[in-house]
Amino acid sequence: MKWFIRFMVTLLLIAAVSVLGYMYVQYTLSSPPRTKPVEVEVSQGDSIMQVGTQLEKKKLIRDDLFFAAYAMVKGQAKALKPGVYEIPPGTDVNGILDIFSHAENNVMRLTVPEGYTVDQIAEELQKKGVDKEAFYRAVNQRTYRHPFLRHINSSKRKYLLEGYLYPSTYNLSKNTDPEKLVDKMLDQFQQEMDREQVLQKLKAKNMTVDEWVTIASIVEREGQVKDEFPRIAGVIYNRLKTGKKLQVDATVQYALGKQKERLYFKDLKVRSPYNTYLYPGLPPGPISNPGKQALKAALNPEKHQYFFYVTRKDGSGRHYFARTEADHQRNILRSKQEARGQTSSQGEPSSGNGSSSQ
């Protein structure tokens, strides 16, 4: 009889521990009461444990101790999609995992690639049913709370916030107005500035935020291979320091308002303050919305003696760099030879997509 009593007591203890353990796990995975949405960014390559840590910091769960294990049991640990998410009040851990793994079912998902312009973002939004004109109005406002906005020079620029709409994937309520989207993009840009301690570094360089972002936007549009970004940035700095016109094809493309496969000498004469073939110094503002690597390159350019570059025509997306005009002309000839003597009825093309020619 004693063995039976011991067995029952043991069984009850196991049951009690299991119930208490379950209650504790549920408690750690629950969210304290809140009345406002919380923004969470899942970056490319983030582990489920990193996501759990972020959820705890944002007070969306009380403790991340069991989050990874719970997500694995639910089969959602590897289903999380990178992006910026807005978690509504009252969403439990299951709802959060569902938002992360099935964003397209819950929210409007907008992916902004690095180097996209305001016009390109507007086109993507229009496809998703967002009023394009309302978005244009939103990017020309200075009413957002971000401190860096006071450093933006508004004179002669096409769009006030061009350059500051941080490239990422944004997941928002389907009825989100454009101003809220722009605000989130600016939030992401501010976070990147804070992470890199940009203001301190710019102060040491005697540069403004707008100058930095403008250089980064040019680097983003000129370069295709990211490990060349610091070298391209170095060319821009060298030309600025010596008073040479930048003569950057990407600024002409922006001035034309459309992306042409090839620029011709007549295109280089377009009357626009963005045309760096005509006007010295930087354009009035950024020509794209640069990503992390371009922003870093503009902050930390490679130190060298190059003043010219021209796109290779070997399919690599890389450039030939040169110190002198003579070397540059040889590189142009080399590039044209790689293009196998392609000609056009519209006249001679310029020295390449994204090249400084003199």
Does pLDDT of 252 surpass 80? yes
Does residue 306 sit within a domain? Answer: yes
Exposure letters 106-140 (e unless 16+ CB within 10 A, then b): bbbbbebebbbbbbebbebbeeeebebeebeebbb
Number of domains forming the structure of the chain: 2
pLDDT one-digit tens code per residue, 176-212: 889 999 999 999 999 999 998 999 999 999 999 999 9
Helix, strand, coil % over all residues of the chain, rounded to 5? 45, 10, 45
Is beta strand 169-172 parallel, antiparallel or unpaired with respect to 108-111? antiparallel
| Residue 231 in this model has a pLDDT that exceeds 80 | yes
Q: Is residue 220 included in any domain, yes or no?
A: yes
pTM (two decimals): 0.76
11 pLDDT higher than 90: no
Decide which of 76, 106, 136 is a domain's last residue. 106
Per-residue pLDDT reduced to its tens digit, 76-119: 777 778 878 878 887 887 788 788 877 555 568 899 999 999 99
Closest CA to 235 of 251, 215, 249: 215
pLDDT tens per residue across span 309-344: 999 988 899 999 999 999 999 999 998 888 765 544
- Domain extent, residue 237, equals 207-338
285 within a domain of the structure (yes/no): yes
Asked if residue 19 belongs to a domain, the reply is no
